[in-house]
């Protein structure tokens, strides 16, 4: 069978049985493709799909309430968390869904993700080509909306140039709307790529733990004597090198387009705590995103504005 076909003997995990919503079907297809061909492309697609699955099943009300302390007592949610972490132990969305959006583990998980416009490690060129192609297609389809938003942005910025310093601190609705449109168009899709070196360290620890538990000769060896994943990671990073120092090892990269990066930077220059930019930069389920949205909600309340009921407004974010 071709790489796009599911083998007859392939059996999808139980968490997908009886589910016909788009996000579950997409995750099931990604899992099937990865089972057939565990390439980096399919691995990336699977991690992205599972992240969306966990967010959908566990945190679907987060952008309404801006509160999430622990997972709902819901089997679909619990199964999604367990399945995702079994395949991707450092998955930020799954960790946050398990422990809460304000938990230290959630914050640490997102700190291990970096947002980039260029890959910091070698990947299959086809992976990037497909991503760049998807971006060009979307920007072509949204050309009219992009042009209109750019005109709106230019007009809003021209007004700012003529305003007093104090007035510049209060961004106009036109400015925010223009940035929102440009960010929503240019910042989706994104590409989530697991760091092979990071995963290699995890696999080495899992292998060591597995061998220790199966080796009778090591029955007297305490599991605590084995280096933890964090210790192995720290050792790798802190090992002196005669060549270029090893940069901080991140669990995965969140790849965005150059236009997305440009409008994130520009919007934060004029609106320092702009939630849309922060959410597109760090992820809509990241603590930084939720904190920015909470600040906006408080600001709106002080200004006697009607608080936003749903920040997504129909957007399918990530």
Asked whether residue 219 carries a pLDDT value surpassing 60, the answer given is no
Mean pLDDT (whole number) for 163-185: 83
pTM value is 0.79
Note the pLDDT of residue 167.
54
Report CA-CA distances (Å) from 184 to 58, 138, 193, 316. Answer: 23, 11, 21, 9
Distance CA 61, CA 280 (A): 18
Say yes or no to pLDDT of 224 above 70. Answer: no
Mean pLDDT of the region 138-166? 90
Place of tokens 């969306």: 52
Distance of CA 176 to the CA centre of its chain: 23
- CA dist 264 and 175 (Å) reads 13
Contacts of 248 (CB under 8 A, 6+ apart): 237
pLDDT tens-digit map of 245-283: 344 568 889 999 999 999 999 999 999 999 999 999 999
């Amino acid at each position: 069978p071709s790489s796009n076909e599911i083998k007859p003997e392939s059996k999808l995990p139980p968490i997908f049985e009886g589910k016909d919503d788009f996000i579950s079907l997409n995750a099931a297809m990604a899992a099937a493709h990865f089972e057939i061909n565990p390439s980096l492309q399919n691995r990336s697609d699977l991690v992205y799909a599972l992240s969306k699955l966990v967010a959908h099943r566990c945190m679907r009300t987060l952008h309404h309430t801006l509160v999430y302390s622990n997972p709902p007592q819901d089997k679909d949610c619990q199964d999604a968390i367990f399945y995702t972490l079994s395949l991707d132990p450092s998955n930020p969305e799954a960790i946050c869904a398990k422990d809460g959006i304000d938990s230290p583990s959630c914050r640490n998980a997102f700190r291990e993700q970096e947002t980039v416009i260029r890959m910091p490690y070698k990947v299959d060129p086809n992976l990037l080509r497909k991503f760049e192609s998807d971006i060009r297609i979307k920007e072509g389809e949204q050309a009219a909306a992009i042009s209109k938003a750019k005109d709106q942005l230019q007009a809003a910025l021209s007004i700012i140039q003529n305003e007093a310093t104090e007035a510049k601190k209060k961004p106009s609705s036109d400015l925010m709307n223009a940035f929102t449109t440009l960010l929503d168009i240019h910042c989706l899709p994104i590409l989530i790529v697991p760091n092979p070196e990071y995963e290699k360290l995890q696999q080495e620890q899992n292998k060591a733990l597995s061998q220790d538990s199966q080796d009778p000769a090591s029955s007297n060896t305490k599991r605590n004597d084995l280096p933890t994943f964090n210790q192995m990671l720290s050792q790798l990073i802190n090992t002196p090198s005669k060549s270029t120092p090893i940069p901080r090892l991140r669990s995965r990269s969140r790849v965005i387009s150059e236009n997305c990066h440009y409008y994130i930077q520009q919007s934060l220059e004029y609106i320092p705590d702009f939630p849309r930019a922060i959410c597109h930069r760090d992820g809509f389920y990241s603590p930084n995103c939720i904190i920015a949205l909470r600040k906006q909600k408080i600001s709106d309340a002080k200004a006697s504005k009607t608080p936003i009921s749903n920040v997504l407004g129909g957007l399918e974010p990530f």
